[in-house]
Amino acid sequence: MTTKSLETTLETDELNQLEQWVKAHGTPQQVVLRSLIGLEAASGRSDLSIASELDMNRHSVRLWRQRIAQEGIGTVWAIASGRGRKARYGSRKRDKIIRATLQDRPAGQTHWSCRTMAAAQGVSKNTISRLWQLHNLKPHLHKTFKLSRDPKFIEKMTDVVGLYLNPPQKAVVICVDEKSQIQALDRTQPGLPLKKGRCGTYTHDYKRNGTTTLFAALNMLDGKVIGQCQNRHRHQEWLKFMRRLDREFPAELVLHVIMDNYGTHKTPVVKKWLEKHPRFVCHFIPTSSSWLNMVERWFRELTDKAIRLGAFVSVPDLEKSIDEYLAAWNENPRPFIWTATVGEIVKKLARAREKLEAIKPGCTQPRQRKTKLSTIV
């Protein structure tokens, strides 16, 4: 006797959610199978064909097809009472471990590891590992940060973010900076190449073969980068690069240049040159706010993909590698898109300042310029 398959109708967002659960790396296998049943059933396939494809019992397919149709897609995560692994430790013990992770430190150490926490709490390291994963705790990881104490932070940040979100007409917004002291490092012994089952290797020690400085300008419109390596990073080299930018862009375009507060950008010679070239409109980011200069994001790409794992026998060898990466990037440039608004940034920084001030009052207040007292003779 043939049983007619139950008709299953799902909305588009429900289908998308089932597909996400199927593709997600951490989804339990039983949930994946149930989600596949829901997807195939919604496409109109019969119980028998679904069971054959998923190598399951036809009655199990019909059961989950019926439950999904009646109870919704959330039922695929249901665990029958009495099934599954029983918790060895109660909620009180788990809360104690979480509090210790967040509030305490092991004697003589800066942070907990699975083994040290397991020894302190009298549980296995696997228990600690699972609990930390569940609560997304990673005591061994730390991120660096720096809150600007520039008195004009809001004014400067608003100016720069405004250029990113609403660039002016008949003008070009470029982010300019120098990446100084790029070292030409060569390994003391040749590394082993990548092969199946083994990553590539290189020696931990190295030999220094000199340094170079890369001056770079990122065009925010199309993502192209103008770069130039020079031996030093004085105001003379900075002016040389600015003159190149003057030649690279059409004379009728205004150039809005976003840069940091490095001393070579503000010397009298540079200021005099800028006065003679009024189409250069300078926008200085706040102090300790390099994250506002998008060329820094491109510098990270350069470091990760062309410098970090490289071996360079000389400075010209290093500069050749940088020039090759520049050429490859500009063949298929990818502009970086700024999305954060001024309001979002201000709220985030306000939360950070509030927490830091609670720990050390005054540590985020704007710096006051020290005035030199003239000696009265």
Q: What is the pLDDT of residue 306?
A: 93
* pLDDT, mean of residues 117-141: 91
Helix (H, G, I), strand (E, B), or coil: what is residue 256? strand
Predicted confidence band of residue 82 (pLDDT cuts 50, 70, 90):
low
CA angle (314, 242, 210) in 5-degree steps: 15
Q: What is the pLDDT of residue 374?
A: 47
Q: Contact, 294 vs 268, CB < 8 A?
A: no
CA 236/CA 259 separation, integer angstroms: 17
For 112-126, what is each residue's pLDDT tens digit?
999 999 999 999 999
Q: Contact, 164 vs 220, CB < 8 A?
A: yes
Helix (H, G, I), strand (E, B), or coil: what is residue 367? coil
* Residue 262 scores a pLDDT above 60: yes
Residue whose entry in the numeric block shows the structure tokens 């019909």? 62
Domain ranges of the chain: 12-77, 97-134, 172-192+199-331
Q: Mean pLDDT across the chain, nearest whole number?
A: 89
On the CB side of 219, CA atoms within 13 Å amount to 17
314 vs 80, residue with greater confidence: 314
For 330-339, what is each residue's pLDDT tens digit?
999 999 999 9
**% the chain with pLDDT above 70:** 94
CA 374/CA 360 separation, integer angstroms: 34
Nearest to 76 by CA among 24, 14, 33: 33
214-233 as b/e: b if 16+ CB within 10 A? bbbbbbbeebbbbbbbbeeb
Taking domain 172-192+199-331, whether its CATH number is 3.40.1310.30 is answered by no
Q: What is the pLDDT of residue 1?
A: 46
* Residue 302 scores a pLDDT above 50: yes
Q: What would the two tokens of residue 255 be?
A: 């150039």
191 contact partners, CB below 8 Å, separation of at least 6: 200, 201, 202, 203, 311
Q: What would the two tokens of residue 332 be?
A: 């298929």
Q: What is the pLDDT of residue 161?
A: 94
Q: What is the pLDDT of residue 369?
A: 64
Q: What is the pLDDT of residue 268?
A: 94
* pLDDT, mean of residues 204-232: 94
Q: What is the pLDDT of residue 86?
A: 67
Q: What is the pLDDT of residue 78?
A: 81
CA 87/CA 314 separation, integer angstroms: 60
**% the chain with pLDDT above 90:** 55
25 vs 211, residue with greater confidence: 211
* pLDDT, mean of residues 179-192: 91
Q: What is the pLDDT of residue 326?
A: 95
Q: What is the pLDDT of residue 3?
A: 55
pTM for the structure as a whole = 0.70
